[in-house]
């Protein structure tokens, strides 16, 4: 049996930010979100470099060059993530004014009947299976660290003044990203998002929307619209990807946000 991702994606700069520092890639075998940080131009650049480094894995998977065993999927993702980190380091070395720029990275790669994931930062991945929504990434944030230590509870975390402080990111320095592999299951729905969505919209509302809109593009559009309605102050990027049986069938990938210059005005 062959598997493919049926996807929809949308990115918006939100209601406050003058530019979009998020970048995203959505293809039949790969989805990626990178949320740039470290100054306007620098954040844009970091997320764009990351998409350029990770994106080619989609073509490799389509050509069946990325297959089982599972550890090979992780190796391909790890090599691409390290390449992204190296590109950021090289840019900073060439222009020291960019020091401090970085990006989150969350990506899933489908090949050989398995889904491999890489995660660093606070861009999230969720899986909807049989009506049950599970967050399959763990935020690399100061607030998550406080939660893990039992220093604060979920209610305090939701309004903590430092909830956006990221403790891990691709910044050109050594970083320990998290990798995982799981079976591809037809009917599973994955949703990747920048924190512009997860900060503005509750998990219950996200789950209800993922259940209410069978079409991935309509679902992605609705999630972003919901974040904007709730007054999202950050850039908002969402990818909805359903695991299906079949092949790509000539479907072309989409690239969004800073990776294409984000020429569109913010949604009303």
pLDDT digits (tens, 9 = 90+) for 111-125: 989 999 999 999 999
Residue 267 domain flag: no
N-to-C CA span, the chain: 43
pLDDT at 163 over 90: no
Look at residue 182 and tell me whether its pLDDT is greater than 50.
yes
Residues 31 and 137 sit within 8 Å (Cβ to Cβ): no
Please name which of 261, 225, 210 lies closest in space to residue 10, comparing C-alpha atoms: 225
Domain membership of residue 262 (yes or no) is no
Helices within 165-268 (DSSP H only)? 195-198, 203-212, 216-229
Residue in the structure block whose two tokens are 């996200």: 206
136 in a structural domain? yes
pLDDT of residue 40: 53
The pLDDT of residue 41 is above 80: no
Q: How far apart are CA 102 and CA 34, in angstroms?
A: 9
> Does residue 87 belong to any structural domain of this protein?
yes
pLDDT tens digits, one per residue of 140-160: 877 767 776 777 777 776 767
Query: For residues 139 and 16, what is the distance between their CA atoms, to the nearest angstrom?
Result: 23
Angle at 175 between CA 235 and CA 161, to 5 degrees: 45
Could you tell me the CATH number of the domain that includes residue 188? 3.60.40.10
CA neighbours within 13 Å on the CB side: how many for 177? 29
What is the torsional sign of CA 120, 228, 251, 127? positive
pLDDT one-digit tens code per residue, 250-267: 889 999 999 997 544 344
Mean pLDDT of the 226-254 span: 93
Considering the chain, what percentage of its residues have pLDDT values greater than 70? 91
- Model confidence pLDDT, tens digit, residues 61-108: 888 766 666 678 889 999 999 999 999 999 999 999 999 899 999 999
Q: What is the mean pLDDT of the chain?
A: 90
Q: For residue range 164-179, list pLDDT tens digits in order.
A: 788 999 999 999 999 9
Starting at the earlier edge strand, list the strands of the sheet with 3-12.
3-12, 236-245, 189-193, 124-129, 132-135
pLDDT value for 70:
66
Kindly state whether residue 265 falls inside one of the protein's structural domains: no
20 occurs within a structural domain: yes
Q: Confirm whether 264 is domain-assigned.
A: no
**CA angle at residue 196 from 156 to 115, to 5 degrees?**
100
- Residue 231 predicted with pLDDT over 50: yes
Based on its alpha-carbon atoms, the radius of gyration of the chain, rounded to whole angstroms, reads 17
pLDDT higher than 50, residue 268: no
Over 50: is that where the pLDDT of 201 sits?
yes
Q: What's the number of domains the chain is made of?
A: 1
Residue 38 has pLDDT above 80, yes or no: no
Boundaries of domain holding 164: 3-257
91 lies in a domain?
A: yes
- pLDDT (tens digit, 9 = 90+) per residue, 13-32? 988 878 899 999 999 999 99
pLDDT for res 265: 39
Tell me what pLDDT residue 161 has.
Answer: 65
- Give the Cα separation of 54 and 32 in Å (integer): 8
């Amino acid at each position: 049996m062959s598997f493919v991702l049926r996807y929809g994606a949308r990115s918006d700069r939100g209601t406050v930010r003058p530019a979009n520092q998020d970048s995203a890639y959505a293809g039949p075998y790969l989805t990626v979100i990178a949320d740039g940080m470290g100054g306007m131009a620098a954040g844009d650049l970091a997320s764009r470099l990351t998409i350029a480094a990770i994106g080619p894995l989609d073509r490799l998977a389509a050509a069946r060059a990325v297959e089982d065993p599972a550890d090979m999927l992780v190796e391909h993702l790890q090599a691409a993530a390290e390449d992204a980190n190296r590109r950021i380091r090289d840019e900073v070395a060439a222009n020291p004014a960019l020091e401090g720029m970085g990006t989150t990275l969350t990506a899933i790669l489908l090949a050989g009947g398995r889904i491999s994931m890489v995660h660093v930062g606070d861009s999230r991945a969720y899986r909807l299976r049989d009506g049950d929504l599970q967050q399959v990434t763990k935020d690399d944030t100061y607030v998550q660290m406080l939660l893990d230590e039992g220093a604060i509870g979920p209610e305090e975390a939701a309004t903590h003044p430092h909830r956006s402080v990221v403790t891990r990111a691709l910044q050109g320095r050594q970083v320990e990203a998290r990798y995982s592999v799981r079976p591809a299951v037809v009917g599973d729905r994955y949703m990747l998002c920048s924190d512009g969505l997860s900060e503005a919209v509750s998990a219950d509302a996200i789950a209800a929307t993922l259940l209410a809109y069978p079409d991935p593009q309509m679902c992605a559009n609705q999630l972003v619209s919901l974040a904007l309605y709730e007054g999202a102050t950050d850039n908002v990027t969402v990818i909805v990807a359903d695991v299906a049986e079949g092949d790509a069938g000539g479907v072309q990938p989409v690239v969004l946000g800073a990776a294409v210059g984000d020429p569109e005005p913010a949604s009303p």
